[in-house]
Chains A and B, each alone.
Chain A
Amino acid sequence: MSIDLDTARRVAKLARIEVAEDALPALADEFNTILGFIEQLNEVDITGVEPMTSVTPMRLKRRDDGVTDGDRQAEVLSNAPDAREGFFAVPKVVE
């Protein structure tokens, strides 16, 4: 499987990373090198093998569904690049 410019452009878009048009060919080449390396996995017989979901079998712990934290608006916002009136501020989303 080889990655063409359209696929590279689409992946960059999905990942929300701006990539200049003239940087796409090099990017596609790098993807192809890495994917070529990954292709080796096709040699492995995986019939009847379940995908590994957890490293050690353990039951997830449960706790009461109660409020244990909160009231930290100032701390939550303290690192925001733009916070106004107790909210995160972003460019206009709805016209």
Chain B
Amino acid sequence: MSALSKLTIAEARDRLRAGEVSAVELTEACLAEIDGARALNAFVHDTPEIARAQAEAADARIAAGDAPAMCGIPVGIKDLFCTQGVPSQAGSKILEGFRPEYESTVTRQLFEAGAVMLGKLNMDEFAMGSSNETSTYGNAVSPWRRGNDATPLTPGGSSGGSAAAVAADLCLAATGTDTGGSIRQPAAFVGITGLKPTYGRCSRWGIVAFASSLDQAGPMTKSVRDAAIMLQAMAGHDPKDSTSADLLLPDFEAALTGDVRGKKIGIPREYRMDGMPEEIETLWARGAEMLRDAGAEIVDISLPHTKYALPAYYVIAPAEASSNLARYDGVRYGRRARLAQGDGVTEMYEKTRAEGFGHEVQRRVMIGTYVLSAGFYDAYYNRARRVRALIKRDFERAFADGVEAILTPATPSAAFGLGEITDADPVQMYLNDVFTVTVNLAGLPGISVPAGIDAQGLPLGLQLIGRPWDEADLLNTAYALEGAAGFVSKPAKWW
């Protein structure tokens, strides 16, 4: 039975349609795996009743010949998505007890396509983190280990639960969200595929907001083909999100020909960083070689403002977060602090937020408050928005010169141990997103593809960045890279 949870979406779809397996069987196999994997702390709210009911409905649809690709596919949902009647806490104590009265657009679309929800997945609080160590549920743990060393490793963040669950075969795929790298970095750390679509491709409605101009939902899957299939169900225009794009969706899976002959792939020189491990450098060069062997033309390009992406991000994201998180005031939902005799409404706000927000969230809300405050708005916030325009222009120039995709490392290192990067130096943790954050600032699609294993036996990923709205072409390039890299390693089961 347990082999069923190891299937890709594409394999499961084909077997479901051929009547070789039922959605109920797939779902039971995943539920059993989840039960046996509490040590990973990936699933934080289980929804077996919903899963079984959805699986039965999916089997009925398949029997009736009405089976979209996601029909009967068991998935995990990041806790950031509001799911009707099911706890949706964004990994925060301040949303304890919150059960949305509504369904996010992305999960509604997945369910309408027949997907089965197994439960909600662990994540950094309000998606602020790169290691899943800021969650109110405690750390999610990677299924990977450094050889025989039992040191618990991070699955990355913020979509750490999603990454751990997919890599450990607790589900066939999971949703993630990516504000600065939160899909691509964890995907790279655990050896799976993670796609951040173009900003506006998936509706943000019903997803707890972190930084509204950067947030974007996407699939975390076991293969590039699965990412194409799942994106198809998640994407599309939504009148409830004014920034969602009213564009026709191409058939993403049909774009996967693997033919990249004549395609111009850019290698940005600014991504070669001082102190980058040699293994990452080697992997990057090998990735370029693989694409060249497949017939692509590899060109050196320059993205001169790359260095300023992280500092710009750490103005813009906290600024937007301080505004978005103002709604957690203990009045309308979530948790309210216990008040002392004589406390007024201001004390209620201050105590509720001090007790409900974790340290990293408080820090970012306050940094955001500072950069937006009178006298500093121009010096910090407007300057960062101007630098952001320059970062976007760098990419636009490369694309105007005929570059169709850009190849970079996904992360500056392999997964690190939980607790190895101390809370005292937040900037060191922020550096994890150095290769991914530019893509959010420019609103582009980016995908992380597992491409190798380091000397300690840990997965490493490569990132491909595409032109806006051209996920189909980006997925095809990623498909070619995936085929050439032939990454098949799986973590040895210890949990």
Contact = CB atoms under 8 A, between A and B. Distances in A.
Contact of A80 (B333, B385, B386): B333
Nearest to A45: B390
Contact of B200 (A16, A17, A56): A56
B390 A49 contact: yes
B242 A61 contact: yes
Contacts of B392: 52, 55
B386 A17 contact: no
Contacts of A34: 314, 363, 367, 426-427
A80 B98 CA distance: 9
Interface size class of A (residues with CB under 8 A): 35 or more
A67 interface: no
Contacts of A14: 369, 373
B346 A79 contact: no
Nearest to A46: B386
Contact of A90 (B239, B243, B345, B389): B345
A11 B369 contact: yes
A91 B344 contact: yes
Contact of B322 (A15, A33, A81): A15
Contacts of B430: 37
A50 interface: yes
Contacts of A37: 310-311, 314, 427, 430
Contact of A41 (B99, B100, B322, B383): B383
Nearest to A20: B354
Interface in B367-424: 367, 369-371, 373, 380, 382-390, 392
B344 A93 contact: yes
A76 B156 CA distance: 35
A9 B284 CA distance: 46
B315 interface: yes
Interface string A47-79: 001111111101011010000000010011011
**The 4 residue pairs across chains A and B that have the minimum distance between CB atoms:** A55-B443, A51-B385, A79-B333, A81-B336
Interface of A: 3, 7, 11-12, 14-19, 27, 30-31, 33-35, 37-44, 46, 49-56, 58, 60-61, 63, 72, 75-76, 78-82, 88, 90-93
19 contacts: A14-B373, A15-B366, A17-B353, A33-B426, A34-B367, A34-B427, A35-B367, A37-B311, A37-B430, A38-B380, A40-B307, A44-B383, A44-B386, A49-B389, A55-B199, A78-B101, A79-B98, A79-B100, A90-B345
